A and B are shown apart, each in its own frame.
Chain A
Amino acid sequence: MSYDKPLPVPDPETKPFWDGTREGKLMVQYCASTGAHHFPPTTFCPNAGLERPEWVQASGRGKVFSWIVVRHPVPKDVYADAVPYAVGLIELEEGCRMTGNIVGIDVDAITADMPVKVVFHAVTDEITLPAFEPA
């Protein structure tokens, strides 16, 4: 059965991220001038002129900054079988944030600042989505 949920369409800025997840690596950007990691990716480092960020592998560990639990599916036919599901805004150890589903735990048991680590789910040949489970 074909995958029926929204799929990312990688572009020149995001391709290294999706190439990374396919290889089981969580990639984020790093700016040598400011020493800051950032995400989502951009072509230029924030506050560093025309300097280009480099891609580095994140540890995959972080904590739950905020989260939601979706109970009413939208679009209904696409998510009817998926609810309830949780989406987390995860603060990575490197200092930047990233979103992903929180899995491997009852959605009602998720708590603020809960430690999590990344896991990877290949949903098509091209796309592997990161998710986060309790660490």
Chain B
Amino acid sequence: MWALRDKYAIGGIGFTAFTRASGRTVRSLASEACIKAIADAGLTPADIDGIISFNFNDSAPAMGVATEIGVPQANYAVDFQSGGNAANLITLAATAAIEAGLAKNVLCFRAMNGRSGFRLGGGRDMSAYGVTQFTAPYGWITYPQAMAMWCRRHMIEFGTNAEQLGEIAVTFRDNAVLNERAMQRTPITFDDYINSRKIVDPFRMLDICLESDGACAVLITSADRARDMPHKPVYIMGGAYGGGPNQGDDLFDAIRWPDHSHNAFKYIASDLWGSAGIGPEDVDVAQIYDCFTYSVLMALEGLGFCKEGEGGPFVQGGRIARTGSLPLNTAGGLLSEAYIHGFNHVIEAVEQLRGVAGERQIKDAEICLTTAGAMTCSSAMILRN
């Protein structure tokens, strides 16, 4: 169990515009976000000695970004070969690196031309190697197709339905309307949701996240150093990463996963809450990895906000709206703000806990949960101000 409660903090944040066509290299997006995060923390590149990213599909190498922004000596420059499941792992890795004395101030970033460049699921490879031998030849190729299989099983077991998924989509869009960063700011109704194009049953277009170009970065440092920085520190209270048995070779290797009605969050919940010393009832606001509407249910159930199978009814009736008892994805989430592989959730968590989220600010927010991942491997953090 991660055992560094409140010893480390996020001292700076930075992000680019989120667009459909950046017209720039991924490295330049990463560098912009990192330069802004350094400035936000009141530091200069000379203060940075660690830099971490994750790189499933495209990204920029951490060393290359360190070079472009002028880090004189990166003692801990690491790229995790991971997908969205790592968005809350790299920040925990930063705390571990600092605790071990490998670095003092560590940048964590995610950058991608996810719309104009490498589109996840746009796969053109007609040769199926490894575990994809048993998926791709049947036309089971994209992430929406992968997650639809899990969602269907949840529907079979628990009666989860489109009304429940639609409330998630509509609620998050409602939040995005108030977020100047968001790519989708046009309000939608449930009718818009239910009438959106069927992509892969049981998913419609509005069940599926955006594709985005952009980058986000945060600066992780010790709590002591963070208190000398310009902004109110956002402390890392707790965190966990991992999954259960039969995680497979990659995100598509879920054939052996025992029960598709729950995902990895079920297995990391006790470490997450134990590391922070709190429980779900203490969370004021949460940023849940919403690559699909359905993945929100998996996180809520797995982390114990409700019982397994009750995620659908739980999200109905306004509970997850800004005015509800558990406001979720206050910036619009991956569904309506942008898909920076979950790292934009960390940015929004920091803004909420700094109290600078403007019209979408959750009053008196003190504890924010962030999650990342949706299948056999996940990560999460609990942040506080």
Q: Does A122 contact B (CB under 8 A)?
A: no
What are the 8 closest A-B residue pairs judged by CB atoms, nearest first?
Answer: A8-B133, A69-B201, A6-B136, A66-B153, A68-B148, A112-B156, A72-B199, A87-B140
Partner of A5, one of B130, B137, B202: B137
Q: Does B323 contact A (CB under 8 A)?
A: no
Q: Contact at B260–A7, with CB atoms within 8 Å?
A: no
Q: Knowing A71-B201, A74-B121 are in contact, say whether A5-B256 is a contact too (CB < 8 A).
A: no
For window 42-77 of A, CB contacts with B under 8 Å fall at: 65-72, 74-75
Q: Does A85 contact B (CB under 8 A)?
A: yes
Partner of B149, one of A11, A68, A100: A68
Q: Does A79 contact B (CB under 8 A)?
A: yes
Q: Contact at A74–B122, with CB atoms within 8 Å?
A: yes
Q: Contact at B255–A9, with CB atoms within 8 Å?
A: no
Which residues of the partner chain A approach B199 to less than 8 Å between Cβ atoms?
71-72
For window 150-189 of B, CB contacts with A under 8 Å fall at: 150, 152-153, 156
1/0 per residue, CB under 8 A from A, across B132-148: the answer is 11111111111001001
* Nearest CB on A from B63, distance (A): 33
List residues of A whose CB falls within 8 A of some B CB: 4-11, 14, 18, 38-40, 65-72, 74-75, 78-79, 82, 85, 87, 89, 96-101, 112, 127, 129, 131
Q: Contact at B139–A85, with CB atoms within 8 Å?
A: yes
Give Cα distance in the complex from A14 to B130, angstroms.
8
Q: Contact at A40–B129, with CB atoms within 8 Å?
A: no
Q: Does B123 contact A (CB under 8 A)?
A: yes
Q: Does B128 contact A (CB under 8 A)?
A: yes
Q: Contact at B133–A68, with CB atoms within 8 Å?
A: no
Which residues of the partner chain B approach A98 to less than 8 Å between Cβ atoms?
134, 255
Q: Knowing A71-B199, A89-B149 are in contact, say whether A97-B134 is a contact too (CB < 8 A).
A: no
Q: Contact at A99–B126, with CB atoms within 8 Å?
A: no
* Nearest CB on A from B197, distance (A): 7
Complex: chain A residue closest to B127, CB-CB: A9
Q: Knowing A40-B255, A72-B197 are in contact, say whether A4-B150 is a contact too (CB < 8 A).
A: no
Q: Contact at B138–A100, with CB atoms within 8 Å?
A: yes
Complex: chain B residue closest to A129, CB-CB: B137
Partner of A101, one of B139, B197, B253: B139
* Nearest CB on B from A90, distance (A): 10
Q: Knowing A87-B145, A89-B149, A129-B138 are in contact, say whether A6-B125 is a contact too (CB < 8 A).
A: yes
Complex: chain A residue closest to B249, CB-CB: A40
Give Cα distance in the complex from A131 to B149, angstroms.
17
Which residues of the partner chain A approach B127 to less than 8 Å between Cβ atoms?
6-7, 9
Q: Does B198 contact A (CB under 8 A)?
A: yes
Q: Contact at B145–A70, with CB atoms within 8 Å?
A: yes
Q: Contact at A87–B149, with CB atoms within 8 Å?
A: yes
Q: Contact at A38–B133, with CB atoms within 8 Å?
A: no
Complex: chain A residue closest to B131, CB-CB: A40
Partner of A8, one of B137, B149, B256, B260: B137
Give Cα distance in the complex from A97 to B256, angstroms.
7
Which residues of the partner chain A approach B200 to less than 8 Å between Cβ atoms?
68-72
Complex: chain B residue closest to A102, CB-CB: B138
Q: Contact at B124–A10, with CB atoms within 8 Å?
A: no
6 contacts between A and B (CB under 8 A): A5-B137, A6-B136, A87-B145, A97-B256, A99-B138, A101-B139
Complex: chain B residue closest to A96, CB-CB: B256
